[in-house]
Chain A
């Protein structure tokens, strides 16, 4: 459903993503792992069509990502991106205006669940509340692909449980969920497959059940094997 073919992104002399070829199939939750600066965010932004690749391509249902694919790919950036004049209600109305798969009723339910109210100004939200708002508005879409960049950043333990539950409820056989994070233990409880990126390159793509049964190791163990001291620092 979603794949990248030899995709590369350079910023000046720095290569952020280097010849990454990877394919994501529906019915799975993928953990996209790597230390900070490994290229996870850049890859996701290219898949969302926000960043133009230097070379290579990202395909959605066999076609290069374009305006049409934005109707089916729900991307949540790690940084806050709402207009500062907006309330949570405005954010929902905005998504409702532009995404046919957005349900305002679902959004309201998710807001309540996250203990947010519609009249909250986005400019006055704490980082944790902002993270919850981004999750709520993104998951209120009935998209085919969800890409959540660092969904647990800045969120306390109890809210993490809530978010994890909400994400799991969204998963089904027809959807692809990509979750990037450097919080490996957190991801282990959600994902069934994992992609490891290091210095812009794809290092490994594993089925977590297979990893556990065949090699007897967890995702965190594999993470330690790949990144070692570099990963511990992240």
Chain B
């Protein structure tokens, strides 16, 4: 499994380096803007950092879906399916590597964001006052709304969990298209419909669970738990389809 994960990491390395490179450039721009008192550069870099952090996590997930598609539909599939590894192990390595990459990228971006906000507040004291005002305003609207560290962390866990379940649903769609609908008309469209239905089902369950009276932090964590559980179920189904029906 570890060896398979090593190669999965290698396959998506280029995309990851592009995301990291873009993040590094945006961070340099942020620091130049902050210490050089260049407001335009600063604001633009903050926008870029936010965009790259969210987009980067999405791109890392999507890259692994593209790789899976290539691994089940081109001659490169022999490299995987010739080896003495079951489909469950092969898919598990893909999902674990991608899940870890998403979580690690998310953690890095979150830490970088926290560091940048701290630097921003240290350099521009008035921003901290503005932040406090926004918090007080939100609190006056709803007592439940707070944006402290545990809430931000649980929100991040929820976003990452949901994105992992989205990627897993796309894995299932790709495998269904190649193993069950291969050669049939509209196979791409049908697998897209399957992905949409699966994601709708996951969010429906999450909405039912959200009715439970709990803190916003708990709701986020329940959300993430449901998403990860759904990912596990979709992974098992996908691996079974690969094992029984996939010809490469």
Query: Measuring CB to CB, which residues of chain A are less than 8 angstroms from any residue of chain B?
Result: 11-12, 45, 48-52, 67-68, 70-71, 75, 77, 79-83, 85, 94, 97-99
Contacts and interface: CB of A to CB of B under 8 A. Distances in A.
Contacts of A94: 7, 79
Contacts of B78: 50, 75, 77, 81
**Would you list the 9 A-B pairs with minimal beta carbon distance, nearest first?**
A81-B78, A98-B83, A51-B247, A70-B84, A81-B75, A97-B3, A71-B84, A79-B75, A52-B247
A83 B11 contact: yes
A52 B82 contact: no
Nearest to B87: A67
B81 A49 contact: yes
A85 B244 CA distance: 30
B247 A81 contact: no
A98 to B, nearest CB: 4
Contacts of A45: 247
Given A11-B183, A50-B248, A82-B76, 4 more contacts: A50-B81, A50-B247, A51-B248, A70-B83
A80 B81 contact: no
Contacts of B81: 49-50
A85 B10 contact: yes
B75 A67 contact: no
B79 A81 contact: yes
B246 interface: yes
A69 B78 CA distance: 15
B43 interface: no
B204 to A, nearest CB: 34
Nearest to A95: B83
Interface string B223-248: 00000000000000000000011111
A79 B82 CA distance: 14
B76 A67 contact: no
Interface residues of B, number: 23
A94 B82 CA distance: 12
B183 A52 contact: no
B86 A67 contact: yes
B118 interface: no
B159 to A, nearest CB: 31
B136 interface: no
A48 B84 contact: no
B50 interface: no
Given A50-B82, A67-B86, A77 B247 contact: no
Contacts of A48: 82
B75 A98 contact: no
B132 interface: no
Contacts of A98: 3, 83-85
A83 B75 CA distance: 9
A12 B216 CA distance: 53
Nearest to A84: B76
Contacts of A97: 3, 6-7
A12 B187 CA distance: 14
Contacts of B83: 70, 98-99
Interface string B50-92: 0000000000000000000000000111110111111000000
B247 A83 contact: no
Given A12-B183, A79-B75, A68 B84 contact: yes
Contacts of B14: 85
A104 B6 CA distance: 19
B17 to A, nearest CB: 12
Contacts of B244: 52
Contacts of A71: 84
B41 to A, nearest CB: 36
Contacts of B86: 67
A34 B90 CA distance: 34
A200 to B, nearest CB: 16
